[in-house]
Amino acid sequence: MSPKAPITQDVMTIPRKLPEGKVNLVGLTRDRLRETLIEHGTPEKQAKMRTGQIWQWIYQWGVRDFAEMTNLAKAYRTQLAEHFVIEIPEVVTRQVSEDGTRKYLVRIAGGHEVEVVYIPEDDRGTLCISSQVGCTLTCSFCHTGTQKLVRNLTAAEIVGQVMMARDDLDEWPVPGAPKDETRLLSNIVLMGMGEPLYNFENVRDAMKIAMDPEGISLSRRRITLSTSGVVPEIARTAQEIGCLLAISFHATTNEVRDVLVPINKRWNIEELLQALASYPKVSNSERITFEYVMLDGVNDSDEDAHRLIEHIKRHKIPAKINLIPFNEWPGAPYKRSSNNRIRAFANIIYQAGYASPIRKTRGEDIMAACGQLKSATERARKSRKQIEAEAGLDRG
Ligand code: SAH
Ligand code: SF4
């Protein structure tokens, strides 16, 4: 293993063992779906057409029962039901915030749980989805980072979160009805639990399905992947997914970023910026979102704001800087910067010619805000002391 190889890959995706050995069709790429149908008796000559039909039933109409696939012969539907299931994660709890944000706790194979958050806004609705149960990384301000990685989600479990939300929002079209242009679920952000670039293939396959025009058909410009900075996977993300990219930047010196986002010890600020510089061109997207969590007295000085601009300018990265007021969680070793400080920081960035929106905190009353997600079953695994020690802080 080279010193720069990803830290993760000791935990493999565990394929779902289904009752009676049935195969879940959700999450398979079109090619895999076709092969799977052939393996289970669909004649090769028909396989392409059947793949298209079944695909549309699953992803365009939200059908889960083969009996409803009325353009397939009855005998064929029975045959499908003998071998396959169409299965998505099961909703355990659903909480609705005062501001309309919905937080779902969903259960996946093995009894693990992940959180999914739906954020309605005037002109869009964003679903924040998870890519792993827990996280291998230990960013010191992130609640998920206190939960060790349990496992990667499968592609079915990732795209299944989107299907689950469409169920809950009752947003599957009715056959024969015109297409709905104004969608409740119009955007996806991979900003829930986990580091998506440490589960690259499953995230890619799931997002390809979400973008497929004959299904959920979300534009790649409405999907944003957030990474803490897994440098070797950034070029692949541009080439193989082509979605928008957000980067958890959070600090302007390696000294501070080493503590806040420890993956920085592996790939430092300079290496990260170099990888980011080529992203917009390769992915044909406009700009990268720099996420910057505002931590009182840690990374929020005027000097930090100037250094941040300097980094971005030096590498000529088309960027928008999203300032995130720190969301507290039980035992968190940091405090949120004051509103005045956040505004002053935003102003310096704005004056330098970059958009610097301050992220509105949503769903805080139900612990659904950024960085507050953590499976209920895993909460309080670490003590406050442990977290503080790991964050390298001494707050007396
Ligand atoms: N692992 C990925 C995606 C999940 S985190 C990543 O790190 O980018 C999604 C965003 O929420 C990241 O920018 C993360 O830094 C931020 N975040 C984490 N904890 C937070 C907290 N307590 N308050 C505010 N933002 C937080
Ligand atoms: Fe993992 Fe992202 Fe949290 Fe860091 S910020 S611990 S990478 S989920």
Q: List the single range of 325-339, 352-366, 378-392 with lowest mean pLDDT.
A: 378-392
Examine the domain organization and report whether 54 and 119 are in the same domain: no
Is ligand 1 within 6 A of the CB of residue 227? yes
Q: Is 5 among the domain residues? A: no
Q: Is 144 in the pocket of ligand 2 (CB under 6 A)?
A: yes
Residues 219 and 156 both lie in one domain: yes
Percent of the residues in the chain that have a pLDDT greater than 90, as a whole number: 73
> Looking at the predicted structure, is the pLDDT value of residue 176 above 80?
no
- Same domain assignment for residues 310 and 186: yes
Report d(CA 131, CA 138) in Å as an integer.
16
Residues 102 and 44 reside in one and the same domain: no
28 lines ligand 1 (CB under 6 A): no
Is 235 in the same domain as 365? Answer: yes
Separation of CA 206 and ligand 2 centre (Å):
20
Compute the distance between CA of residue 261 and CA of residue 254 in angstroms, rounded to an integer. 10
Q: 131 and 189 in contact (C-beta within 8 Å)? A: no
Distance from the alpha carbon of residue 106 to the mean position of ligand 2, in angstroms: 19
Annotated binding site for S-adenosyl-L-methionine: 194-195, 226, 248-250, 327
Give bridge partners of residue 85 from the DSSP assignment.
Answer: 24
Question: Are residues 102 and 66 both part of a single domain?
Answer: no
End-to-end CA distance of the chain: 40
Instruction: Give the whole-angstrom CA distance, residue 356 versus residue 350.
Output: 6
Looking up residue 178, the CATH number of its domain turns out to be: 3.20.20.70
**Ligand 2 atom nearest residue 143's Cα:** 3
Last residue of a domain, one of 41, 58, 85: 85
164 within a domain of the structure (yes/no)? yes
Measured distance CA(90)–CA(118) in Å, rounded: 16
Rounded to an integer, what distance in angstroms lies between the CA atom of residue 319 and that of residue 353? 10
Residue 97: inside a domain? yes
Give the single-character DSSP code of 173.
Answer: P
Atom of ligand 1 nearest to the CA of 142: 19
From the alpha carbon of 145, which atom of ligand 2 is closest?
Answer: 6
Average pLDDT on 255-260 reads 98
For ligand 2, is residue 133 a contact (CB within 6 Å)? no
Q: Decide: 128 in ligand 2 pocket, CB within 6 A.
A: no
Is residue 306 exposed (0-12), middle (13-18) or buried (19+ Cβ within 10 Å)? middle
Answer positive or negative: Cα dihedral of 171, 176, 177, 179: positive
pLDDT at 384: 40
The last residue of a domain, from among 39, 55, 85: 85
152 pLDDT higher than 60: yes
The closest residue, in CA terms, to atom 13 on ligand 1 is 248
Shortest-distance Cα residue to atom 12 of ligand 1 = 248
Does residue 8 lie within any of the structural domains? no
Is a pLDDT exceeding 70 seen at residue 371?
A: no
Residue 369 confidence class, pLDDT cut points 50, 70, 90: low
Q: Which residues contact 124 (CB under 8 A, 6 or more apart)?
A: 186, 187
Is the confidence at residue 328, as pLDDT, over 90? no
Give me ligand 1 centre to Cα 370, in Å: 6
- pLDDT, position 357: 94
**Does ligand 2 lie within 6 Å of residue 195's CB atom?**
yes
Question: Are residues 171 and 224 located together in one domain of the fold?
Answer: yes
Query: Are 252 and 304 a contacting pair, CB within 8 Å?
Result: yes
The predicted model scores a pTM of 0.89
Binding positions for [4Fe-4S] cluster: 135, 139, 142
**Could you tell me if 206 and 269 lie in one domain?**
yes
Options 115, 157, 233, 291, the catalytic residue: 115
Query: Ligand 1 in contact with 142 (CB < 6 A)?
Result: yes
Residue 379 lies inside a defined structural domain of this protein: yes
Could you tell me if residue 13 is inside a domain? no
For residues 171 and 114, state if they share a domain: yes
Alpha carbon of 326 to ligand 1 centroid (Å): 9
**12 occurs within a structural domain:** no
Ligand 2 center–CA 359 separation, angstroms: 18
CB 214 within 8 A of CB 58: no
Residue whose token pair is 């950034």: 234
Q: Averaged over 137-158, what is the pLDDT?
A: 89
Does 369 share its domain with 316?
yes
103, β-bridge pairs? 95, 117
In the annotation, is 128 catalytic? no
* Reported confidence tier of residue 144, pLDDT bands at 50, 70, 90: confident
- 77 and 194, same domain (yes or no): no
CA of 344 to the centre of ligand 2 (A): 26
CATH number at residue 78: 1.10.150.530
Q: Are residues 110 and 71 in the same domain?
A: no
3 in a structural domain: no
Out of 85, 107, 133, a domain closes at: 85
| pLDDT tier for residue 147 given thresholds of 50, 70 and 90 | confident
3-class DSSP state of 174 = coil
The DSSP secondary-structure symbol of 378 reads G
Cβ(291) – ligand 1 distance below 6 Å: yes
CA 276/CA 131 separation, integer angstroms: 21
Range(s) of the domain holding residue 276: 90-395
Buried b (16+ CB within 10 A) or exposed e, 16-40: beeeeebebbbbbebeebbebbeee
Q: Is the dihedral of CA 143, 145, 149, 151 positive or negative?
A: positive
What DSSP assignment string belongs to 2-63?
-TTS-S-TTS-------GGGPEE-TT--HHHHHHHHHHTT--HHHHHHHHHHHHIIIIIS--
- Quote the number of domains for the chain: 2
